[in-house]
């Protein structure tokens, strides 16, 4: 069964939904891919400060061609702008910020998440094994959110009882936003807090490889 | 008198022999000492142990070293260069995969007299337990694994022991530098250049602009000259420093 | 919106209870958050665990806290305040004596997610072997000694294990700061202010001059705002910043 | 027997003698007291860079009253100047410079030194026990020089077979300049390289608590 574009949230909607939960005044690191979409979908009443691993707090959006500064890229190696009040630093201080527990939220993509909060997002057989800053982010940050499709390209669930792929971190994820809904990490099961429009609990149960509770649905 | 400025790039870089370990700054396209990497190629240096966050994303900098097969070992967090994986899987290069923050901290530690440190990052993962391949034979079979890391529980949290990562040399790229080796960087170009310079026993700095001693305000020196042994003028002509025009 | 500026010093400082651990920046007479220390006295806070390089060299800053007997413990490298020793030897205050570099590194480690580290500094000395008194009774007899440190030989060199030193609060003094907490320092006034701010779970910055966000160039921010929770205007009227006049 | 002012070098002469041995282009940290005198006695052909623990590389001399900058002191808490090309940094980086082995020479005062290079210079019973940066300097720096009177105020030798006072560091001193001469650390004895004018080997032998060799006298 293919999800993308059929039931649940689109990736843009997913980013918009997660953006709603980012509190005003937060310090946030957004992973490459869907998580980065959050920056352009924040409610207008929020001042959120984005950290980029390569050494800036106060990352801005994409520059127009004449705004490109060759010394300013984001962690995805794309040219980027900074905002007024930004600070730059070297990689050691950048990761002191990450590993020292100073960021409020890290948002990452994932291949697998378990109900205990284990995360696998860096290594699949046959691909170039880039770990980047993911292991630092998941052990250092107060809240670790995962944003991802509920299932992979082959329709296999990404919410699993136990991760079978190499782990990025143990017991590190606090919340999961998938195309089907919003899930808290509850230890032995996923606690579904919200369903995407038109998604039924039965669909979620069927497409999830671990127990799901719906008692806290709002 | 201290004068670390050198005119001849090839002559300066000729102190780095084949087989050396070399920490190289840069992240993506910012802060990459591309001219110094070119010099290593022109000098036909081989069997290098390169320590760098990325393995290059285009055929410049570390990317060129990878492209020309000049590495015996790569230590870094993101060997995402598509040319790297075939070299790894055919036994032509060894990989030490290190989380990005651990890499920065290990380089800084080497320069700071910290011999080793405990961090929770990577605890319990394949990078810590010895389940990650570091070397393959020419047929793609694993012949070596990364060493398991010592674990100590500190305040209830499992932490792994990471050792300082000193290198024979470091190559860095700065926006400005003076004859004393003092260097300053713009925005995201600072990145690994500071920890790499700290880790290198001998550090060469490719400066976009060379300025007089005192032109960099003492409070604006990001890398004090004591960490830099040689300074050369970059031939990269990008006008990236709006304050100080390229000389 | 983030606005860390606070008008009322006493109200801001009232979040620090008696008994708290407080890292305090400054070295000699430079970079001392004297107004914040005064506030702790005005608020009659006691039984503080103060972490600071010096125990004060005059009756301001940490010196005033010592003078008024507000410490239960002092962690630092130089308790050279003549008022300190009698308090120590009569059991009124505990001493954790730490080499200056180890102190800076332990504070930084706490802020950087490094849980502990190995350093050769102090290996084999009384500070490492548990032969140094940390507490006396009222008659001047030793009742407690500093804990012996774990030792590990790394590359043939004996190293001691030092743990990260996190504190409940940190008090720092900057030359400039903005509403985001970004701070910049002049010359020798930076000293322990950066590592202290990193170590404090809540950090209050006394700024000589408060500037608009963006007035400090991104490359000139020495302490990114994420390490600072509150900023207050210093009442110290010294004109020490020739670039930016005191507001 | 009292030394000071009678035989051997005065403190100024001692600093002048040691200053001769500081190579051009060196990075040097000078301890409080006699070592600090070296800065003003350097031969004019030397560019030497002075590091101060409190965060400056490029420490200069004492300011005139109208040159005083309230933000610039040396490690002895005296107001100081900086030289052109100086760099300032925080205490963590300052001690990274010290502990990372980047300084060429640290010059310290001492209470006791042994022929194996053990140093005691920070704690005497009854005094305020300030360790400061001494333990960092002696374990980190390439060459550790001691500058001191040959004997203490009571005439007791400070060159001893074994230190009886609390150690600052083990096997860390490389050279000792005393009011009587210049001594290399040779393991089981002091290797006297030079005698102060008018000082005889017999005097040195009598006033030293360990074996002294004179075979390398120049």
Q: What pLDDT does A14 receive?
A: 96
Edge to edge, the sheet with strand B151-154 lists B151-154, B157-163, B116-119, C116-119, C157-163, C151-154
- Which residues, 6+ apart, have CB-to-CB distance to B68 below 8 Å? B41
Q: What pLDDT does B242 receive?
A: 41
Q: What is the pLDDT of residues C13-34, one digit of tens each?
A: 999 999 999 999 999 999 999 9
Considering chain A, what is the average pLDDT of its residues?
93
- Which residues, 6+ apart, have CB-to-CB distance to B184 below 8 Å? B174, B175, B176, B177, B216, B220, B221, B222, B223, C219
Q: Does D139 touch chain B (CB under 8 A)?
A: yes
List, as ranges, residues 38-67 from A with C-beta within 8 Å of C.
Answer: 47, 49, 51, 56-58
- Which residues, 6+ apart, have CB-to-CB distance to A126 below 8 Å? none
Q: What pLDDT does C245 receive?
A: 32
Compute the distance between CA of residue D119 and CA of residue D131 in angstroms, rounded to an integer.
Answer: 13
Which residues of chain B have a CB within 8 Å of the CB of A136?
99-102, 121
Task: Work out the percent of chain A whose per-residue pLDDT is above 70.
Answer: 95
Q: B151-154 and B157-163 as β-strands: parallel, antiparallel, unpaired? A: antiparallel
Q: What is the pLDDT of residues C212-224, one digit of tens each?
A: 999 999 999 999 9
Count of CB contacts below 8 A, A vs B?
A: 154
Give the CATH number of domain B9-115+164-233: 3.40.1080.10
* Mean pLDDT of the region A113-134: 87
Residue A17 is inside which H or E element, if any?
Answer: helix A11-20
Query: What confidence tier does C82 reach under pLDDT thresholds 50, 70, 90?
Result: confident
Query: What confidence tier does B56 reach under pLDDT thresholds 50, 70, 90?
Result: confident
Q: Is the predicted pLDDT of residue C201 greater than 80, yes or no?
A: yes
Phi, psi of B54 (to 5 degrees): -105, 160
Compute the distance between CA of residue A10 and CA of residue B161 in angstroms, rounded to an integer.
Answer: 42
Give the closest-approach CA distance of B167 to chain D in angstroms.
13
Which residues of chain C have a CB within 8 Å of the CB of A97?
224, 226-227
Considering chain B, what is the average pLDDT of its residues?
94
Q: What is the pLDDT of residues D39-80, one digit of tens each?
A: 999 999 999 999 999 999 999 999 999 999 999 999 988 999
Using only C-alpha atoms, chain A has a radius of gyration, in whole angstroms, of 17
Give the closest-approach CA distance of B240 to chain A in angstroms.
6
- Which residues, 6+ apart, have CB-to-CB distance to B81 below 8 Å? A128, B54, B55, B56, B57, B62, B63, B66
- Subunits with 3+ Cβ pairs within 8 Å of D are B, C
Q: What is the pLDDT of residues A162-210, one digit of tens each?
A: 999 999 999 999 999 999 999 999 999 999 999 999 999 999 999 999 9
Query: What confidence tier does B66 reach under pLDDT thresholds 50, 70, 90?
Result: very high
Which residues of chain C have a CB within 8 Å of the CB of A85?
178-180, 182, 213-214, 225
Q: What pLDDT does D126 receive?
A: 63
- The SS3 call for residue A137 is helix
Give the closest-approach CA distance of D87 to chain B in angstroms.
4
Best of A53, A84, A85, A105 to disrupt the C interface by mutation (most C CBs within 10 Å)?
A85
Length of chain B as a residue count: 247
Structure tokens at C201: 């779970």
Q: What pLDDT does C241 receive?
A: 45
Q: Does B117 touch chain C (CB under 8 A)?
A: yes
Q: What is the pLDDT of residues D161-202, one digit of tens each?
A: 999 999 999 999 999 999 999 999 999 999 999 999 999 999
- Which residues, 6+ apart, have CB-to-CB distance to A70 below 8 Å? A79, B29, B30, B238, B240
CB–CB of B74/B94 below 8 Å? yes
Q: Is the predicted pLDDT of residue B240 greater than 50, yes or no?
A: no
Q: What is the pLDDT of residues B164-209, one digit of tens each?
A: 999 999 999 999 999 999 999 999 999 999 999 999 999 999 999 9
Q: What pLDDT does C237 receive?
A: 62
The domain spans of chain B are: 9-115+164-233
The b/e string for D43-69 (b: 16+ C-beta within 10 A; e otherwise) is eeeeebbbbbbbbbbbbbeeeeeeeeb
Which residues of chain A have a CB within 8 Å of the CB of C108?
96
SS (H, E, C) chain D: CCCCCCCCCCHHHHHHHHHHCCCCCCEEEECCCHHHHHHHHCCCCCCCEEEECCCEEEECCCCCHHHCCCCCECCCCCECCEEEEEEECCHHHHHHHHHCCCCCEEEECCCEECCCCCEECCCCCCCCCCCCCHHHHHHHCCEEEEEECCECCCCCECEECCCCCCCCECCCCCEEEECCEEEEECCCCEEEEEECCCCCHHHHHHCCECCEECCCCC
Lowest mean pLDDT: which of A121-125, C239-243, D91-95?
C239-243
Best of D72, D92, D141 to disrupt the C interface by mutation (most C CBs within 10 Å)?
D92
Query: What confidence tier does C135 reach under pLDDT thresholds 50, 70, 90?
Result: very high
Compute the distance between CA of residue A116 and CA of residue A188 in angstroms, rounded to an integer.
Answer: 6
Contact A57 C219 (CB under 8 A): no
Compute the distance between CA of residue C4 and CA of residue D184 in angstroms, rounded to an integer.
Answer: 57
Classify the complex by whether its ipTM is higher than 0.90, answering yes or no.
yes
Compute the distance between CA of residue C221 and CA of residue C184 in angstroms, rounded to an integer.
Answer: 5
Give the CATH number of domain A11-213: 3.40.1080.10
Active-site residue identified among A12, A53, A67, A78: A53
């Amino acid at each position: 069964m293919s999800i993308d574009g059929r039931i649940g949230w689109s990736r843009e909607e997913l980013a918009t939904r997660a953006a709603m939960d980012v509190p005003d005044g937060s310090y946030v690191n957004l992973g490459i891919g869907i998580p980065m979409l959050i920056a352009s979908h924040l409610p207008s009443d929020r001042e959120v400060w984005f950290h980029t691993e390569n050494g800036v707090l106060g990352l801005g959006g994409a520059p127009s061609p004449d705004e490109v500064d060759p010394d300013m890229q984001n962690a995805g190696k794309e040219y980027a702008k900074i905002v007024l009040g930004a600070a730059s630093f070297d990689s050691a201080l950048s990761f002191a910020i990450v590993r020292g527990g100073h960021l409020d939220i890290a948002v990452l993509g994932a291949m697998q998440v378990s109900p205990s909060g284990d995360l696998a997002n860096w290594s699949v057989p046959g691909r170039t094994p880039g770990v980047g800053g993911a292991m630092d982010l998941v052990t250092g940050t107060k809240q670790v959110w995962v944003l991802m499709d509920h299932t992979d390209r082959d329709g296999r669930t990404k919410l699993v009882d136990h991760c079978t792929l190499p782990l990025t971190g143990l017991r590190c994820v606090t919340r999961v936003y998938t195309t089907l809904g919003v899930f808290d990490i509850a230890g032995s099961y996923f606690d579904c807090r919200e369903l995407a429009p038109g998604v039924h609990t039965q669909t979620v149960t069927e497409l999830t490889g671990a127990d799901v509770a719906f008692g806290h649905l709002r | 008198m201290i004068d670390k400025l050198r005119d001849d790039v090839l002559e300066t870089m000729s102190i780095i022999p084949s087989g050396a370990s070399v920490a190289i700054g840069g992240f993506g396209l910012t802060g990459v000492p591309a001219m110094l990497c070119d010099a290593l190629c022109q000098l036909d240096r081989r069997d290098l142990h390169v320590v760098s966050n990325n393995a290059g994303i285009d055929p410049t900098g570390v990317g060129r070293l990878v492209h020309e097969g000049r590495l015996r070992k790569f230590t870094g967090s993101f060997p995402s260069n598509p040319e790297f994986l075939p070299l790894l899987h055919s036994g032509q290069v060894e990989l030490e995969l290190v989380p990005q923050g651990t890499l920065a901290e290990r380089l800084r530690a080497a320069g700071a007299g910290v011999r080793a440190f405990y961090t929770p990052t990577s605890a319990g993962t394949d990078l810590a337990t010895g389940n990650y391949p570091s070397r393959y034979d020419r047929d793609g079979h694993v012949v070596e694994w990364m060493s398991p890391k010592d674990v100590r529980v500190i305040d209830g949290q499992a932490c792994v022991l990471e050792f300082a990562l000193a290198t024979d040399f470091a190559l860095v790229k700065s926006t400005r530098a003076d004859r004393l080796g003092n260097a300053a960087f713009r925005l995201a170009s600072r990145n690994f250049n500071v920890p790499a310079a700290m880790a290198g026993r001998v550090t060469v700095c490719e400066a976009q602009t060379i300025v007089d001693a005192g032109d960099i305000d003492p409070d604006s020196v990001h890398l004090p000259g004591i960490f830099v042994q040689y300074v050369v003028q970059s031939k990269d002509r990008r006008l990236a420093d709006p304050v100080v025009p390229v000389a």
